[in-house]
Amino acid sequence: MDVHDFLNNQISELQNVKEYITDLENKLTDQTTLNNIEFVPIEISDVSIRTLYKPKMVFSKKEKCNRCDSDRLIKTDNSFYNEYNLCQCAIDNFHFIPKEINIVEIRCSQRTGDNTVIYYDDDSDTQISFSDKFIKDAFDESDDWRKVYYSSQNECCNLCNYLNGWR
């Protein structure tokens, strides 16, 4: 056996020892990692919530009046050209009503501690999710009707009445 073969054998044995040590280190870190995991209980603010309420804007058309034409335009007096104004009966009315929302799922995020509420909107055929921080128990005049959800129908009615001007 020459020197070259001897060195190759020594290198291969050392390589096997190195792989063995690496495997041992990996096994040890896997075991210590599993033993050091802390399980944090996740708290859902209110699992019993299955129905929420949200203000919904509803449009309704006014009946056509006698002052305008079939396109709901009123001709103004102008000697140079025909000018038209939109009649008041062409402007849609809108009002707010409480919309009942059935929750499909509540997800918890361990990282942020937030709960995500998910429901399917029949009006837009989409899945909508939002943070449970937008669920309120009591009406406040500063509530943004586009973002807020209520746990009670009465509180949602209070906001709808406020938005409709029916105090």
Structural domain includes residue 99: yes
Asked if residue 130 lies in contact with residue 149, where contact means CB atoms within 8 angstroms, the answer is: yes
The verdict on 102 and 152 lying in the same domain is yes
Comparison of pLDDT for 30 and 53, the residue scoring more? 53
pLDDT > 60? residue 12: yes
Comparison of pLDDT for 68 and 5, the residue scoring more? 68
The verdict on 98 and 33 lying in the same domain is no
The verdict on 100 and 24 lying in the same domain is no
Classify burial at 5, counting beta carbons within 10 Å of its beta carbon; exposed 0-12, middle 13-18, buried 19 or more. exposed
113-126: b (≥16 Cβ within 10 Å) or e: eebebebeeeeeee
Distance CA 53, CA 136 (A): 10
Domain count, the chain: 2
pTM: 0.55
Convert the pLDDT of each residue in 76-120 to its tens digit: 776 677 788 888 887 778 889 999 988 887 877 777 777 888 888
Structural domain includes residue 15: yes
The verdict on 131 and 99 lying in the same domain is yes
Distance CA 41, CA 155 (A): 32
Structural domain includes residue 73: no
Structural domain includes residue 76: no
Mean of pLDDT values over 11-21: 80
pLDDT > 70? residue 35: no
At 46, the pLDDT band (50, 70, 90 cuts) reads low
Domain that residue 143 falls in: 51-60+94-164
The verdict on 56 and 8 lying in the same domain is no
Asked if residue 117 lies in contact with residue 130, where contact means CB atoms within 8 angstroms, the answer is: yes
The verdict on 33 and 100 lying in the same domain is no
